[in-house]
Structure 1
Amino acid sequence: MDAMRRVPDNRDDLSTFEAVMGRMSWYHRVEVELFHTLGRWATQPDGADLDPADRVLLGTQARYHAWHGELWREQFPTAGQAFAELPTTLFAESALSPKVGLPSLGFPNAPNEGIEVLYDEVLPHLAGLYESHLEATSPMTDGPIVRVLHLVLATRSTWARRPAGRSEAASWRTSPLPDAPGENAR
């Protein structure tokens, strides 16, 4: 269970059941923690300097992370005596236990400090892990995992949106709106 005690990286071997389950458990835990963190930022007073549009954006992204966590949880084996204690063991030994959470990895509780860490470090690392995991899978034997990886990676476009007051504003906030159909027609 060593694979579950540390943050995975792209060079990890995913050829054993234990390694894959450890990685999926870690994905699940991180996605759930991201859901809780972004939801807290979107609703708590410590994000008082966030404008309402940024709060809506963080809330929307939180819901996506909750969905991703659920997708990973659904992949855990549930049948047979051999797997009876697996989910409990995975969560207890996960690199991110519910008591420790993301702040133990240097992820601040307040949005003021945390937004740059989230968008510049955590999400790119997570996307890299998903992509390397996808490259290590076989569509014939890992179909359900491939499906989840495709679904999660398809929502990355929402990760590119960052609240406007942080670091650099995302291009979707600063680009001009296209003309309405027929507006420039003569």
Structure 2
Amino acid sequence: MADPYKPRAPFAPWDRRELPGSFDVEDSARRVGNYKWAEMKLFEALGGWVATVPELDVKMRLGTHCYKHAWHADLWHKRLPELREMNPDRLTQPANDAMVRFVEAMTEPEAPDQTIEKLVGVYRVFIPRFIAAYTFHKNNTSQITDAPTIRSINFILQDEFDDWRDGEMILQSLIETPDDVERAARHQARLEAIMVEAGGIAGPGSIGMTSTGASANGPQNGSAA
């Protein structure tokens, strides 16, 4: 009979998870609040465009995608109270003023002939930033204490990858002339500049590196500030 009091490793031999993650409770709550705000804004933008874009295939895709982002926002909302007894509404905010300006610039194209600009902002700038921030969060949080967040990220990332692929394919079908290429590139460059200023959807450190090249979570990992 095995001795139940014999010292054992905390995890099975094949389980190499580590308890500490790169984020403390406050930083996790802040990031999740930023994620929720950004997903809500993307839901609102796509939902508004469904009624105005003239291309039927684009209209149908935007309608499908917008409700995914509403669900993502709901998933993040449900994570906020579990992180600590904090006010979810207070935490649901943009990372900084530059993120607000990014959303304003992304939603600025309203004319029926600006479908390319609409899609460029979402699928070539905004959604890639979601993918990057979520992947960084998943890879740097605790697989033990933050397992529910990792589960949410896995669901959300699958949607983001699927929607990015849809959006890019639609864009490639719409960009037919050198003028279209110039329009897309010019609008993307403008939005990229604002997003770089914002530092990503969770601000500087969204993917772990600040504008100076230092790790945003370095001190928590024992590295130099």
Provide the residue aligned with 1:83 in structure 2.
85
SS in 1 for 2:79: coil
Distance 1:165 1:137 in 2: 34
Confirm whether residue 32 of structure 1 aligns to residue 40 of structure 2.
yes
Assess if the C-alpha contact under 8 Å between 1:57 and 1:163 holds in 2.
no
Confirm whether residue 154 of structure 1 aligns to residue 158 of structure 2.
yes
Gaps of 5+ in 1: 1-12, 171-186
- The within-5 A match list for 1:43-122 is 43-44=51-52, 47-48=53-54, 51-77=55-81, 83=85, 86-91=87-92, 93-95=93-95, 100=100, 103-104=103-104, 106-109=105-108, 110=110, 112=115, 113-122=117-126
* Letter paired with 1:135: N
Distance 2:101 2:81 in 1: 24
With the length of structure 2 as denominator, give the TM-score of the two structures.
0.57
* Letter paired with 1:108: T
* Letter paired with 2:26: E
SS in 1 for 2:81: coil
The CA RMSD over aligned residues, in Å, is 2.7
C-alpha offsets along residues 126-147 of structure 1, whole Å, 9 cap, x if unaligned?
A: 1010101000022211111011
Provide the residue aligned with 2:195 in structure 1.
none
C-alpha offsets along residues 146-179 of structure 1, whole Å, 9 cap, x if unaligned?
A: 110011012121221027663x239xxxxxxxxx
| Counterparts in 2 of 1:119 and 1:101: CA distance versus 1, 3 Å | same
Assess if the C-alpha contact under 8 Å between 1:28 and 1:72 holds in 2.
yes
Distance 1:96 1:56 in 2: 32
Gaps of 5+ in 2: 1-20, 175-225
SS in 2 for 1:76: helix
SS in 2 for 1:133: helix
Q: CA deviation at 1:103?
A: 2.9
With the length of structure 1 as denominator, give the TM-score of the two structures.
0.68
